[in-house]
């Protein structure tokens, strides 16, 4: 790049100017007055509505072109319109996570002088799935096309689909076993993949030769490009109607209004101050095949968050004290962190007004360098970053909810999102051909409870506000497995006055395939990676995988004997119904390939609870038992309910007077069993000083203290440890895989 | 606040508001003076007289007591200055054995107590479970929320504190 070229980069200069204007005026691109809106508020809204409708209909067009059940069936897609500088003006529904990640992608091309090389021309198509440029994880492939009006760049249209196969070290999109970037699969790094409105043939060939299931990716490319063209047409039609100068002005005012709306919403719905939360995530792979010796087989992360709500309405979220990035696929780039923040805000704050990059401008993320939130090595893998993102933004939701509660908006209080472990698979399909797919029924976990009612059962994930598990029959078309059942997991929501939403479990038999490799990810089996609020408990960890290899299911079917459709309440139905090699696998399922006749179960997460479980309405408890949402023992132990009659003869009812007595007794027992916090503190202090913890816990503290002096100081101050206190390097941590 | 609205918010607080009305509250424009309306209802519900300044939990409030601003439970138990973490004045039950954890998680998989424990912060006055922490052994107690009370009243509410 010559200096002259660089100076001539009009677009880059424009981007820098826009950023300077924001810094100087505090308003997006220096838009201090909303002239278009003040002139004609109705027209202002109407034009935004047209752009938004353009995005929504583009997404629907794409869903009908796509071959992937991820896009068609569960809607893993989003479409948006951007300014020339890459700021989102209007967005569709769907995986809104990506509105700002695409923005980063466009800005990255501008900053890297794409204007000169490879050039930005009418008819060009650019694609990216590199999280360090701008996306969340390798399967999130985005396409953008420039919008030119009479030779002038007036904006961009962009679309993202979550691909079901990325060609990595493990099949599927969330490439669980990648320990570095180099195992994650096919990377498209801000590449010009098309000219003159056509995707290049050599690009398609590269996809065909590097993916296990290229049809999903390639048809999704066609779908996204069609969506982009549709949005481009809409913008150009609109420009014909209102004039290019007016369009350029109003599209920026939309963003500035979005920014102001976000600040106003914070001032309206919350209370200023300092909020804190934390959550944890544990990873267990010791002894499993596929382990690579770069990182620890088992590890524990703490995820502390601090949120300041400032008096102007700005939200500042600080990840100080986070764990270092690691040799695993769960790291996240700042783009991914933005995405998590953005999709959460659109659900809690931007439910009215204009939804665009303005909301992002009214917030700030502090992501300490070197942590999993902002890795200082671009070799690190991010293919399953949701494993840490979801717990982190669940904690963010609880902090926001504390603000809603304090302000009196009880109906907005929400205990938050949870992880929802994914299944990825590959091998030989039921059609006798190689295949690979991510099973997206995980897009329907249990939600956290609300402050006024139970959470949603099997109907919520943080990353897509329109959660959907998809139809069984569609998934069966695309994978060599037949469902034996999809059932509610009783007691899987966290307990509380209002319980978290329950999760579900699926049970399959591998069918018509000699080889299916199943890898699951985003399991935190040894710690709860979610939490309750105001006395509610976290949801339990997901149930372990229960597997029967070489089962006798086909004989049972032939003999017309009954089948088990789940693991049952006591988790032993498979053993009772089927003969074969029974296995129980904790955490991610990383195992030898399976085949026809093998049975496999997988369960998703429930949400955290809200309020003291002893305050739960007994009628709700009874109703849960009758509906199969919880067990009678749960009602007795956790909620202090006393029953009369039995569930089997349909005479079960509540003994209200005994229940009242029991609850009173349980409160008294609580006070007898509990100790004053200061007493506990004194007895705990020594243990902390000695570092009397499991190796993983000790390593977690040491890592956080090494990386963050602020965390170290807070930790020392809390436990009254001497200045400079540190845990010595512990040689006992077993890094081997034996 | 008219009687109909008072009744609606009272039901909301008690989790008794029918879903169509709740949905309507969620989807329509938020009332600007909700804060004071809800405070009024909370104040009616508690049996003590100190003025509620801010709710911070299902049972916890910051109240004005003489010249002090303290955290107080709905039962009347007092936890001291709101700028200090009320949890230090609570009583605590820690679940750090599998057996103890299974008391709360029957028929479900629990955390490994060497990696994570459950801390139950309980009101010494009424035995209500106020907050649950799920964290590693040795993790400092979390101070969930320290509001900017002065800024909130003077700049956001335009109301004397
Ligand atoms: Zn109390």
Q: What is the pLDDT of residues A61-112, one digit of tens each?
A: 999 998 888 888 888 899 999 999 999 999 998 888 888 899 999 999 999 9
**Looking at residue A737, what is its pLDDT?**
60
Q: Cβ contacts of residue B12 below 8 Å, gap of 6+?
A: A410, A411, A452, B22, B25
Asked if pLDDT for residue A436 goes beyond 70, the answer is: yes
Put simply, the answer to whether B129 touches A614 (Cβ < 8 Å) is yes
CA proximity to A450, closest of B10, B23, B135:
B23
Question: Cβ distance A271 to A282 under 8 Å?
Answer: no
CA distances (Å), origin A64, targets A70, A346, A471, A656, B129 = 12, 25, 16, 55, 50
What's the Rg (C-alpha) of chain A? 27
CA dihedral A462, A468, A470, A471 (to 10 degrees): 150
CA distances (Å), origin A283, targets A286, A605, A614, B72 = 9, 16, 33, 40
For every residue of A326-360, DSSP letters joined together read -SSTT---HHHHHHHHHHHHHHHT-SSS--SHHHH
Put simply, the answer to whether B108 touches A612 (Cβ < 8 Å) is no
Of residues B28 and A138, more confidently modeled: A138
Q: How far apart are CA B81 and CA A463, in angstroms?
A: 39
Q: How far apart are CA A341 and CA B117, in angstroms?
A: 28
CA A64, chain centre distance (Å): 25
Q: How far apart are CA A707 and CA A349, in angstroms?
A: 33
Q: Cβ contacts of residue A134 below 8 Å, gap of 6+?
A: A101, A102, A103, A104, A105, A106, A107, A108, A128, A142, A335
Question: Cβ distance A475 to A434 under 8 Å?
Answer: no
Residue A615 is classified by DSSP as: G
**Looking at residue A180, what is its pLDDT?**
95
Q: Encode A18-78 in three state secondary structure.
A: HHHHHHHHCCHHHCCCCHHHHHCHHHHHHHHHHHHHHHHHHHHHHHHHCCCHHHHCCCCEE
Candidates A535, A570, A606, A711, partner chain B, best to mutate (most B CBs within 10 A): A535
Q: How many CA atoms lie within 13 A of B105 on its CB side?
A: 29
Helix axis angle, A618-627 to A632-639, nearest 10°: 160
CA proximity to B128, closest of A640, A676, A614:
A614
Residue A167 is classified by DSSP as: -
Q: Please tell me the distance in Å from A666's CA to the nearest CA on chain B.
A: 9
CA dihedral B97, B100, B101, B107 (to 10 degrees): 120
What's the whole-number mean pLDDT along residues A393-417? 97
What's the whole-number mean pLDDT along residues A696-702? 96
Q: How far apart are CA B42 and CA A408, in angstroms?
A: 10
**Looking at residue A8, what is its pLDDT?**
65
Q: How far apart are CA A154 and CA A499, in angstroms?
A: 49
DSSP H helices, A179-318, are: 201-210, 214-242, 244-269
CA proximity to A274, closest of B134, B118, B151:
B151
Mean pLDDT of chain B: 96
* CB proximity A638 to B under 8 Å: yes
Question: Cβ distance A68 to A437 under 8 Å?
Answer: no
Question: Cβ distance A78 to A159 under 8 Å?
Answer: yes
Within the 674-713 window of chain A, which residues sit less than 8 Å (CB to CB) from chain B? 674-678, 680-681, 684, 687-688, 693-694, 696-697, 700-701
**Looking at residue A481, what is its pLDDT?**
97
Determine the distance separating the centroid of ligand 1 and the alpha carbon of A259, expressed in angstroms.
41
What digits encode the pLDDT tens for the residues B96-118?
999 999 999 998 999 999 999 99
Q: How far apart are CA A149 and CA A237, in angstroms?
A: 10
**B27: closest chain A residue by CA:** A351
The pLDDT-based confidence of A3 (bands split at 50, 70, 90) is: very low
Residue keyed to tokens 């005012």: A253
Determine the distance separating the centroid of ligand 1 and the alpha carbon of B125, expressed in angstroms.
5
Q: How far apart are CA A125 and CA A221, in angstroms?
A: 10
* CB proximity A662 to B under 8 Å: no
Put simply, the answer to whether A537 touches B151 (Cβ < 8 Å) is no
Question: Cβ distance B71 to B61 under 8 Å?
Answer: yes
The pLDDT-based confidence of A346 (bands split at 50, 70, 90) is: confident
Asked if pLDDT for residue B1 goes beyond 90, the answer is: no
The pLDDT-based confidence of A2 (bands split at 50, 70, 90) is: very low
Candidates A266, A270, A271, partner chain B, best to mutate (most B CBs within 10 A): A271
Question: Cβ distance A312 to A330 under 8 Å?
Answer: no
The tokens for B60 are 């916890």
**Looking at residue A586, what is its pLDDT?**
94
What's the whole-number mean pLDDT along residues A244-256? 97
Largest CA distance in chain A: 87
For every residue of A116-127, DSSP letters joined together read IIII--TT-EEE
Determine the distance separating the centroid of ligand 1 and the alpha carbon of A648, expressed in angstroms.
39
- What ipTM score was computed for the predicted complex, to two decimals? 0.98
The pLDDT-based confidence of A291 (bands split at 50, 70, 90) is: low
**Looking at residue A350, what is its pLDDT?**
76
Q: Is B156 in a helix, a strand, or coil?
A: helix
CA proximity to A398, closest of A344, A465, A357, A361:
A344
What digits encode the pLDDT tens for the residues A440-486?
999 999 999 999 999 999 999 998 888 899 999 999 999 999 999 99
Within the 240-299 window of chain A, which residues sit less than 8 Å (CB to CB) from chain B? 267-269, 271-280, 282
**Looking at residue A736, what is its pLDDT?**
60
Asked if pLDDT for residue A731 goes beyond 70, the answer is: no
Q: How many CA atoms lie within 13 A of A164 on its CB side?
A: 32
Which residues pair with residue B132 across a beta bridge? Answer: B120
Which residues pair with residue A517 across a beta bridge? Answer: A426
Within the 505-544 window of chain A, which residues sit less than 8 Å (CB to CB) from chain B? 525-528, 531-538, 540-544
What's the whole-number mean pLDDT along residues A339-351? 86
Strand order in the sheet with B78-81: B51-55, B60-65, B68-73, B78-81
Nearest to B12 among A410, A538, A671 (CB): A410
Candidates A275, A531, A534, A683, partner chain B, best to mutate (most B CBs within 10 A): A534
Q: How far apart are CA A167 and CA A440, in angstroms?
A: 17
Secondary element (H or E) of residue A583: strand A581-585
Q: How far apart are CA A214 and CA A194, in angstroms?
A: 18
Other Cβ atoms closer than 10 A to A464: 23
Strand order in the sheet with A545-549: A481-488, A504-510, A599-603, A545-549, A581-585
The pLDDT-based confidence of A1 (bands split at 50, 70, 90) is: very low
Mean pLDDT of chain A: 94
Determine the distance separating the centroid of ligand 1 and the alpha carbon of A612, expressed in angstroms.
12
Asked if pLDDT for residue A40 goes beyond 80, the answer is: yes
Other Cβ atoms closer than 10 A to B87: 19
What's the whole-number mean pLDDT along residues A3-7? 47
């Amino acid at each position: 790049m010559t200096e002259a070229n660089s100076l001539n980069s009009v677009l880059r200069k424009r981007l820098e100017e826009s950023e300077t204007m924001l810094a100087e005026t505090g308003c997006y691109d220096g838009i201090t007055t909303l002239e278009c809106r003040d002139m004609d508020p109705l027209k202002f809204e109407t034009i935004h509505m047209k752009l938004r409708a353009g995005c929504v209909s583009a997404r629907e067009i794409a869903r009908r072109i796509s071959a992937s059940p991820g896009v068609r069936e569960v809607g893993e897609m989003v479409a948006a319109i951007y300014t020339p500088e890459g700021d989102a003006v209007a967005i569709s529904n769907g995986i809104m996570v990506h509105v700002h990640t695409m923005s980063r992608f466009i800005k990255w091309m501008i900053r890297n002088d794409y204007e000169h090389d490879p050039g930005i021309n009418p008819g060009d198509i650019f694609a990216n799935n590199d999280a360090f440029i701008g996306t969340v994880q390798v399967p999130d492939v985005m396409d953008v096309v420039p919008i030119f009006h009479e030779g002038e760049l007036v904006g961009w249209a962009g679309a993202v689909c979550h691909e079901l196969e990325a060609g990595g070290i493990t099949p599927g999109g969330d490439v669980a076993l990648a320990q570095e970037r180099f195992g994650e699969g096919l990377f498209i790094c801000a590449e010009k993949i098309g000219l003159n409105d056509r995707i290049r043939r050599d690009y398609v060939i590269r996809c065909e030769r590097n993916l296990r299931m290229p049809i999903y990716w390639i048809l999704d490319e066609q779908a996204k490009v069609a969506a982009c063209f549709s949005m481009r047409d809409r913008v150009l039609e609109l420009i014909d109607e209102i004039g290019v100068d007016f369009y350029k002005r109003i599209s920026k005012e939309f963003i500035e209004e979005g920014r102001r709306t976000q600040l106003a919403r914070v001032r309206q719905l919350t209370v200023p101050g300092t909020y804190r939360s934390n959550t944890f995530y544990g990873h267990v792979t010791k002894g499993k095949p596929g382990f690579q010796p770069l990182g620890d087989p088992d590890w524990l992360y703490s995820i502390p968050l601090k949120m300041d709500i400032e008096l102007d309405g700005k939200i500042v979220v600080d990840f100080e004290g986070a764990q270092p990035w690691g040799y695993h696929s769960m790291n996240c780039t700042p783009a991914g962190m933005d995405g998590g923040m953005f999709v959460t805000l659109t659900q809690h704050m931007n439910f009215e007004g204009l939804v665009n990059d303005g909301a992002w401008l009214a917030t700030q993320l502090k992501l300490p360098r070197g942590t999993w939130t902002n890795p200082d090595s671009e070799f690190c893998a991010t293919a399953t970053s949701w494993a840490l993102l979801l717990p982190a933004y669940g904690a963010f939701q609880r902090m926001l909810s504390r603000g809603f509660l304090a302000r009196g908006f009880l109906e907005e209080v929400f205990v938050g999102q949870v992880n929802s472990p994914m299944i990825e698979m590959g091998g030989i399909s039921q059609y006798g051909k190689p295949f690979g797919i991510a099973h997206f029924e995980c897009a329907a976990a249990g939600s956290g409870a609300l402050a006024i009612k139970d959470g949603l059962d099997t109907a919520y994930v943080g990353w897509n506000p329109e959660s959907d598990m998809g139809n069984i029959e569609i998934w069966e078309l695309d994978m060599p497995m037949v469902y034996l059942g999809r059932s509610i997991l009783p007691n899987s929501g966290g307990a509380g006055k209002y319980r978290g939403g329950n999760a579900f479990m699926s049970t399959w038999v591998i069918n018509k395939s000699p080889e299916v490799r199943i890898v699951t990810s985003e399991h935190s089996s040894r710690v709860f990676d979610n939490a309750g609020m105001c006395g509610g408990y976290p949801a339990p960890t997901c149930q372990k995988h229960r597997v029967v290899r070489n089962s006798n299911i086909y004989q049972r079917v032939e003999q017309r004997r009954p089948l088990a459709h789940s693991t049952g309440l006591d988790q032993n139905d498979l053993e009772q119904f089927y003969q074969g090699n029974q296995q129980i696998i904790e955490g991610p399922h990383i195992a030898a390939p399976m085949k026809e006749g093998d049975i496999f179960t997988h369960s998703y997460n429930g949400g955290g609870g809200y309020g003291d479980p002893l305050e739960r309405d007994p009628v709700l408890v009874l109703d849960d038992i009758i509906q199969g949402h919880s067990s009678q023992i749960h009602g007795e132990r956790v909620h202090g309910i006393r029953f009369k009659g039995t569930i089997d003869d349909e005479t079960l009812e509540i003994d209200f007077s005994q229940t009242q007595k029991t609850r009173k007794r349980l409160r008294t027992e609580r006070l007898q069993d509990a100790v004053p916090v200061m007493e506990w503190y004194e007895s705990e202090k020594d243990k902390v000083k000695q570092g009397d913890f499991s190796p993983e816990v000790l390593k977690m503290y040491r890592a956080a203290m090494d990386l963050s002096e602020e965390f170290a100081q807070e930790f020392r101050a809390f436990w009254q440890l001497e200045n400079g206190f540190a845990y010595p390097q512990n040689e006992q941590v077993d890094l081997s895989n034996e | 606040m008219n009687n109909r609205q008072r009744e609606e918010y009272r039901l909301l607080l008690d989790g008794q508001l029918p879903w169509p009305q709740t949905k309507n509250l969620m989807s329509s424009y938020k009332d600007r003076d909700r804060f004071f309306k809800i405070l009024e209802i909370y104040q009616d519900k508690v049996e003590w007289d100190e003025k509620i300044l801010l709710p911070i939990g299902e049972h916890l409030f910051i109240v004005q007591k003489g010249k002090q601003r303290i955290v107080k439970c709905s039962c009347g138990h007092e936890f001291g200055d709101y700028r200090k973490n009320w949890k230090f004045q609570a009583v605590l039950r820690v679940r750090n054995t599998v057996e103890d954890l299974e008391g709360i998680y029957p028929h479900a998989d629990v955390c490994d107590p060497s990696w994570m424990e459950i801390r139950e912060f309980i009101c010494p006055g009424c035995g209500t479970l106020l907050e649950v922490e799920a964290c590693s052994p040795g993790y400092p107690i979390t101070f969930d929320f320290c509001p900017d009370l002065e800024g909130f009243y003077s700049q956001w509410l335009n109301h004397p504190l």
